[in-house]
Amino acid sequence: MAYRVIQWATGNVGRAAVEGILAHPDLTLVGAFVTNPAKAGRDVGEICGLPKVGVAATNDVDEVLATRADCVLYAPLLAQTDEVVRLLRSGKNVVTPVGWFYPERGPGTAEIEEACRAGGVSLHGTGMHPGGFTERFPLTFSAMCMNVRHVRAEEFSDLRNYQAEFVVREIMLFGKTPQAARESPMLQLLAQGFHQSIDMVATGLGVTLDTEKRDAHEMAVATRDLDTPVGRIAAGTIAAQRFTWQGTVRGEPAVTARVNWFMGDGHLDPDWRLGEERFEVALDADPPIAATFHGIHPPEVGKNLHRLPGMVGTAMHCVNAIPYVCEAAPGIRTYLDLPLVCGRRG
């Protein structure tokens, strides 16, 4: 029996998710929600640059709620708890890359859990970083170690490959002054996901972390004007940023998650040398284990940006989880709750 799936939003991740749902032998696409009214009524395949699939998109939430489906792949730019609660209450499982990886207990979590019980369904947060490299891989590697002292998960990404000028310049603050970046809430906003990652790793390892986490935001400015796909980055403005979130035990680092975003390597002050795009996972343990991951970034900067590998990977981590989530007991279900999620042979 194929699981019936609705895709919520058809942005970069959503388009890749539609392609993945259509390719998955255990899934059937039965609907799509779009925020742009101009997309409503159009075939979902056409919206996503694929052949027509015979499914029309809608921007009517009530129509989505009334559609018979087993799961919604919820991929908006920003999550809205009230939307997720309504989807769960309607009896639809939710898989999402925009939160709930390992949420703290509190009023918001209680509301989600109650909605899951009411609908008899589950919610699962997954993705890339956070949502995969930050938790799943370190915990998997830890099974081959003893005396795990420190876990590090780190991203190195060239944002010249990210085709979203408004996000890069106005939200990520590239091309802004260091003062503007220091005053932004980005560190705290990103921490909402990465703190969950740190807590999940600690729980998996049986570690009790100190109450307060350490967060840091470092930045480097361009030493000359840089022409990029998202416009000119003027000399003296932000051209690279490093965010670090850390869980400690008695003041000593135990779990570290870090993001390095940059507009090309070099021409920076301080003179950071970040190297090629990659993800790194490393365990200070016995034996020490370290892995570097490639293929999640485009092979050439600035080319084939219509289908970024990182977006496909994020989408597929959601798509491949759907059958497992649909079979799970009601509630918020994390990597610690679900069996091993696998892809499918094409």
Would you state the pLDDT for residue 260?
Answer: 97
Q: What is the CATH number of domain 3-127+314-332?
A: 3.40.50.720
Containing H/E element for 147?
strand 146-158
Would you state the pLDDT for residue 305?
Answer: 64
Containing H/E element for 286?
strand 278-286
Would you state the pLDDT for residue 242?
Answer: 96
DSSP string computed for 13-71: HHHHHHHHHHH-TTEEEEEEE-S-GGGTTSBHHHHTTS---S-BEE--HHHHHHS--SE
Would you state the pLDDT for residue 82?
Answer: 96
- Phi-psi category of 98—alpha, beta or left, where left has phi over 0 and alpha has psi -120 to 50? alpha
pTM for the full predicted model: 0.93
Give 234-269 pLDDT, tens digit per residue: 999 999 999 999 999 999 999 999 999 999 888 999
At residue 269, the 3 state secondary structure works out as: strand
| Closest residue by Cα to residue 140 from 129, 130, 151, 149 | 151
DSSP string computed for 186-255: HHHHHHHHHHHHHHHHHHHHT----SSPEEEEEEEEESS-EEETTEEE-TTSEEEEEEEEEEEETTEEEE
Would you state the pLDDT for residue 270?
Answer: 96
329 contacts 338 by C-beta, under 8 angstroms = no
Would you state the pLDDT for residue 127?
Answer: 92
8 contacts 73 by C-beta, under 8 angstroms = yes
For β-strands 226-228 and 231-233, DSSP reports them as antiparallel
**Would you list the domain boundaries of the chain?**
3-127+314-332, 136-295
Q: CA–CA distance from 306 to each of 164, 171, 254, 300 (Å)?
A: 11, 21, 38, 13
> What is the sign of the dihedral through the CA atoms of 328, 332, 336 and 342?
positive
278 contacts 292 by C-beta, under 8 angstroms = yes
Average pLDDT score, the chain: 94
| Distance from C-alpha of 321 to C-alpha of 336, rounded to nearest angstrom | 13
Would you state the pLDDT for residue 303?
Answer: 67
| Closest residue by Cα to residue 221 from 277, 173, 167 | 173
57 contacts 50 by C-beta, under 8 angstroms = no
| Distance from C-alpha of 174 to C-alpha of 240, rounded to nearest angstrom | 8
Would you state the pLDDT for residue 186?
Answer: 86
71 contacts 94 by C-beta, under 8 angstroms = yes
Torsion of CA 18, 122, 247, 203, to 10 degrees: -130
**Please, which residues bridge with residue 323 across strands?**
none
Query: Residue 92: how many CB atoms within 10 A of its CB?
Result: 23
| Closest residue by Cα to residue 233 from 258, 270, 268, 271 | 268
| Closest residue by Cα to residue 57 from 72, 81, 38 | 38
Residue 155 — φ and ψ, nearest 5°? -110, 140
Would you state the pLDDT for residue 160?
Answer: 87
Q: pLDDT in tens for each of the 346 residues of the chain? A: 799 999 999 998 999 999 999 999 999 999 999 999 999 999 999 999 999 999 999 999 999 999 999 999 999 988 999 999 999 999 999 999 999 999 988 778 999 999 999 999 999 999 999 989 999 999 999 999 999 999 999 999 999 888 778 888 988 899 999 999 888 888 888 999 999 999 999 999 999 999 999 999 999 999 999 998 888 999 999 999 999 999 999 999 999 999 999 998 889 999 999 999 999 999 999 999 999 999 998 887 766 666 788 899 999 999 999 999 999 999 999 999 999 999 998 7
